[in-house]
Amino acid sequence: MSDQAAAVPGSTIPYSLLQRVVLLGLAFTVLRAASMFGPVAWRPLFFIHCLFMIATPWLMLSREGRQSAGIRRGGSLAIYAGAVSIGVAGASLCHLIGYGLFGTGADNWYVSVANSFRAQPTPGLATWQLYLIFTIPGILFSPFGEEIFFRGVLQRALESRFSARASTLIEAGWFGAAHLIHHGLLVTAAGVSLLWKSAPLWFLLMTGLSIGFALLRKKAGTVWPAVAAHAAFNATMNAFIFTYIWNA
């Protein structure tokens, strides 16, 4: 795909590209759902969909388009340090709220993530080994894939039609809704159900986190500080999971 259509004045992202980006985003969401709700053998689909998200700017945008979407160098050391702090603080806040309200029950979102980890074969491994196995991919695949797509390509494509503020709210809401796949939505033989106590709160937390990442991207003019914040969030989240849930 290429960005050959006429661009909206003041934008290097073509107006007509929005439809293709949205359709691609829907495809990514379907792959995410299949990886989490399908058989254990389908789990690699999550990493595959992250790789496709990483590749999206080079498949759909010109060099100018990639730079406009924040796929470029930039950001001071202070911004990256702040980004990591934001990621750690965000994961800690999610822990405090989830544990404070729901303990280690099914409504705690970190318990949901832990259960998805437990569903995968991990025979005879120590806790620290399991932490590394689940955390290293978690700081390499989803932070790069999701930030490049949501804060980069999707944000900029939305701005060909909407204001920057509205575009941020749309992509952040989409990000929050997509994370209901990890906690909130339950798929069983009886059908699809929702954890009504915790799913709305988890959605709001993930949407707020996404807005924070978007502000980092705007301030730095590049997506990489948002990637750093996202990676720090995932690493800290897994630390909580393996210290107070996995060993429970």
Mean pLDDT of 37-56: 94
Mean pLDDT of 182-211: 93
Q: Alpha carbon of 81 to those of 73, 75, 205, 223: distances in Å?
A: 16, 10, 22, 14
Mean pLDDT score of the chain: 91
Question: What pLDDT shows up at residue 182?
Answer: 95
**What 3-state class would DSSP assign to 14?**
strand
Which of 2 and 224 is assigned the larger pLDDT? Answer: 224
Partner residues linked to 14 by β-bridges: 7
Mean pLDDT of 114-119: 87
Question: What pLDDT shows up at residue 6?
Answer: 37
Alpha helices in 149-198 (DSSP H): 155-158, 164-178
